[in-house]
Amino acid sequence: MKVTIKDVARDAGVSPSTVSRVISDSSRIGEATKKRVRKSIEKLGYTPNVMARSLVSRRSRIIGVVMPHEADTLFSNPFFIQAMKGISVAAEKNNYHIMYAFGRDEEGELDAVKNYISRNIVDGICLLTARKRDRCIEYLKGEEFPFVVIGTPEEKTSEDTLWVDNDNEEAVRNIVKLLSEDGHKKIGFIGAKRNWTVSINREKGFIEESSLRGVETFIEYEEDFTRASGYSGARKLFREPGITSVICTDDILAFGAQKYLLENDGAHVKILGFNRIDPQGNFGPKFSSVDINSAGLGEEAINLLISKLNHTNKSNYKIVDTKLERIEEEL
């Protein structure tokens, strides 16, 4: 039989109320009593029943994470799994648990959100991506349910929406700066999903820093983050002669662009990617890539959400640093 708070109380010769207060380390309990109770807890191997605790405290200490349905195909991209790891670490530190839901489409994601909320299962929700006119975000706002988004939400203005993201503008500015100092005068840019906020911010950094430094810019957008997109983007981009480097908003695009370049006398062109994807079976030379610190994004998202739940949050957003990783050739 499971040991309950009553068993501990009996063993320590106190009331269940006192045991409860010792557990929450209430200042109103005498040190001697605390010590005695703790000994009983230890001895009996007591651990509180979270269900009972949740029922009365109305806090489950569970956070629901909704995986975007595109995740399925995006899983060549290690972002999600690393974000999950970060989420898990932060949750554990704060003594929270994590629940994941995979929607099969946007409707399914919304259903997961509704389900979480209506059944009182989670204290807060974490979304792994911010879409334009995101239905989950809109629903959560309407319900005034605590949530956090990884990525910059459309209406950054609303102070009540929690979010974490990289400073994507700054990250690209930094790359342009390095390239420019390195003598590059004509730089290309290949992106996908032009209407995602992340794309918009990266392009902005690209254009502004380039103009500041007198660098000529050439931009191509494709539909999806695939190798094929990178390849065809590069084909279009390099009709323009003299481009000596290309920034791709994802390593997957960069793989495709690299293939095009290797096939078309472009081996000298410097490639820069985003998201540091281990190229596994990639037979081409490696290229530098911006590490967006996916785990950090997940971790900070949860920290932000929990501080909101505790009403101790100072800010409604958090910027996670990126790091340009320059990679040398290796097997």
Partner DNA sequence: CTGAAAGCGCTTACAG
Residues near a second copy (CB under 8 A) = 2, 45, 47-52, 54-55, 60, 62, 71-72, 75-76, 78, 80-82, 84-85, 88-89, 92, 97-102, 118-121, 227-228, 231, 251-252, 255-256, 258-259, 262, 277-284, 331
Task: Pick one of a second copy, DNA, none as the site partner of residue 14 (Cβ within 5 to 8 A by kind).
Answer: DNA
Shortest Cβ distance from residue 213 to a second copy (Å)?
Answer: 30
Neighbours of 212 (CB within 10 A): 12
Task: Pick one of DNA, a second copy, none as the site partner of residue 89 (Cβ within 5 to 8 A by kind).
Answer: a second copy
Shortest Cβ distance from residue 48 to DNA (Å)?
Answer: 4
Shortest Cβ distance from residue 270 to a second copy (Å)?
Answer: 17
Distance between CA 57 and CA 303 in Å, rounded? 21
DSSP-derived pairing of the beta strands 62-67 and 124-127:
parallel
Question: Of 119, 116, 229, whose CA–CA distance to 127 is shortest?
Answer: 116
Question: Of 230, 237, 247, 241, whose CA–CA distance to 177 is shortest?
Answer: 247
If residue 62 lies in a helix (H) or strand (E), which one and from where to where?
A: strand 62-67
If residue 231 lies in a helix (H) or strand (E), which one and from where to where?
A: helix 227-237
Residues binding DNA (CB under 7 A): 2, 4-6, 13-21, 23-24, 26, 28-30, 32-33, 46, 48-49, 52-53, 55-58
Distance between CA 160 and CA 124 in Å, rounded? 14
Distance between CA 165 and CA 187 in Å, rounded? 25
Shortest Cβ distance from residue 305 to DNA (Å)?
Answer: 20
Nearer to DNA, 56 or 331 (CB): 56
Nearer to a second copy, 53 or 156 (CB): 53
Q: Is the dihedral of CA 312, 315, 317, 319 positive or negative?
A: negative
Nearer to a second copy, 100 or 221 (CB): 100
Tokens of 188: 């290309």
Shortest Cβ distance from residue 123 to DNA (Å)?
Answer: 14
Nearer to a second copy, 205 or 256 (CB): 256
Distance between CA 125 and CA 145 in Å, rounded? 8
Task: Pick one of DNA, a second copy, none as the site partner of residue 5 (Cβ within 5 to 8 A by kind).
Answer: DNA
